[in-house]
Amino acid sequence: MNKCVSAAEAVSAIESGMTIGIGGWGPRRKPMGLVRELLRSDVKDLTVVAYGGADVGLLCAAGKVKKVIFAFVSLDFMPLEPAFRKARESGAIEVREIDEGMMLLGLRAAAWGSPFIPTRIGLGTDVVTRNPDLALVDSPYDEKEWVAMPALNLDVALIHATRADERGVCEIASPDHYMDDWFARASKTTIVSADEIVASKHFNDPGVARRVYWERNCTTKVVHMPGGAHPSSSDPLYGYDVKHYKEYGALIAEGGFDAWSSAFLGSSEADYQAAVGGPDAIHSLPLPVY
């Protein structure tokens, strides 16, 4: 079975009004090349579920988002993602703001076919009072009330992996896979971009096999996209691009999405990568130290 397709072909699975989950964390291992392909499409009214960074910011700035389900949207070294901040402060998007861990529970509920997972997280806070769609439930086993974190059923998940084979076996070689496995499991369709495509025998090494966090039947499409996480990191291959994020922030502040897209987006990933200095520049970005 060969699941390798072009970015455009993969992203054509996404339709207006869908709920999409995006893997990675803030400025780390985000499937930005796939997000850029989405920015080039005419899809809109998306509900986005993510541990957000510029993926969420750009989609909001481009007017493609109806609702964001989030706990934060941050670039870490820049605590506030500039485009998301603009969208939020202008009231342009609906939100369901939840705790970081609640998002994990929602993805797990979806993956496990459960309508919700009970948790105490959110009790006593505005996560509950500001979200009319988060219900409180009784437990049959105690006298306490519980938050019923609903399943976050995704139509499509976008994930960036270090390596994949053509059958969709994915290796994440960076120190953490974040919640990417749960995004893959919670979704009907999972599109993975990978820095490298490898032969299946690559996974025969037990050390490599331990870095495979979901089964290949959770991967629908694979897109070969070296440098495809840029400007986020794909540790150990490259770090995140502080300089580009700063330029992005400045362009968003001055001229919004149009200013950034006319400077960088281009009509293909090759155009984009050329605009940010080329593949070699991406691959020489230093790894962050915390």
Partner 1 sequence: MTFTLAELMVCAASRSFDNDGEVLATGIGLLPRLAASLAMRTTNPDMMMTDSQSYMLSSPNPVSGMTSHEGQANENWMGFARIFDNVWSGARHALVGPSQVDRFGQTNIAALGGSYEAPKVQLLGVRGFPGNSISHANSFFVPKHSTRVFVEGECDVVCSIGYNPDRLPRGYSFADIDIRRVITDLCVMDFNGPNKQMRVISLHPGVPLSEVHENTGFELAVADSVDETPTPTEEQLAIIAELDPLNFRAKQLKDNPPGVRNA
Q: How far is the CB of 194 from partner 1 (least distance, A)?
A: 20
Q: Which of residues 87-106 bind partner 1 (CB under 8 A)?
A: 88-91, 97-102, 104
Q: Specify the residue, 42 or 290, whose C-beta has the smaller distance to partner 1.
A: 290
Size of the site for partner 1 (CB under 8 A): 44
Residue 61 to residues 53, 134, 205, 278: CA-CA distances in angstroms? Answer: 12, 27, 43, 25
Q: Specify the residue, 231 or 239, whose C-beta has the smaller distance to partner 1.
A: 239
Q: How far is the CB of 4 from partner 1 (least distance, A)?
A: 28
Query: Interface with partner 1 includes 77 (CB under 8 A)?
Result: no
Q: Which of 123, 250, 253, 270 binds partner 1 (CB under 8 A)?
A: 123
Burial 25-58 (b: 16+ CB within 10 A, else e): bbbbbbbbbbbbbbbbeebeebbbbbbbbbbbbb
- Specify the 3-state DSSP secondary structure of 64: coil
Decide: residue 79, CB within 10 A, 0-12 exposed, 13-18 middle, 19+ buried: exposed
Q: Specify the residue, 53 or 226, whose C-beta has the smaller distance to partner 1.
A: 53
Q: Which of residues 9-68 bind partner 1 (CB under 8 A)?
A: 25
Query: Interface with partner 1 includes 196 (CB under 8 A)?
Result: no
Q: What letter does residue 285 receive in the DSSP assignment? A: P
If phi over 0 gives left and psi between -120 and 50 gives alpha, with beta otherwise, what is residue 76?
Answer: left
* Cα–Cα distance measured from residue 35 to residue 56, given in angstroms and rounded to the nearest whole number: 9
Query: Interface with partner 1 includes 80 (CB under 8 A)?
Result: yes
Q: How far is the CB of 97 from partner 1 (least distance, A)?
A: 6
Query: Interface with partner 1 includes 133 (CB under 8 A)?
Result: no
Q: Which of 77, 112, 115, 125 binds partner 1 (CB under 8 A)?
A: 125
Q: Which residue has the tokens 């009072």?
A: 129
Query: Interface with partner 1 includes 129 (CB under 8 A)?
Result: yes
Question: What crossing angle do the helices spanning 82-89 and 242-260 adopt, rounded to 10°?
Answer: 40
* Cα–Cα distance measured from residue 137 to residue 73, given in angstroms and rounded to the nearest whole number: 29
Query: Interface with partner 1 includes 207 (CB under 8 A)?
Result: no
Q: Which of residues 134-173 bind partner 1 (CB under 8 A)?
A: 136, 142-145
Q: Distance between terminal CA atoms of the chain?
A: 40
Query: Interface with partner 1 includes 243 (CB under 8 A)?
Result: no
The site for partner 1 (CB under 8 A) is made up of 25, 70-74, 79-80, 84-85, 88-91, 97-102, 104, 120-127, 129-130, 136, 142-145, 175-179, 182, 289-290
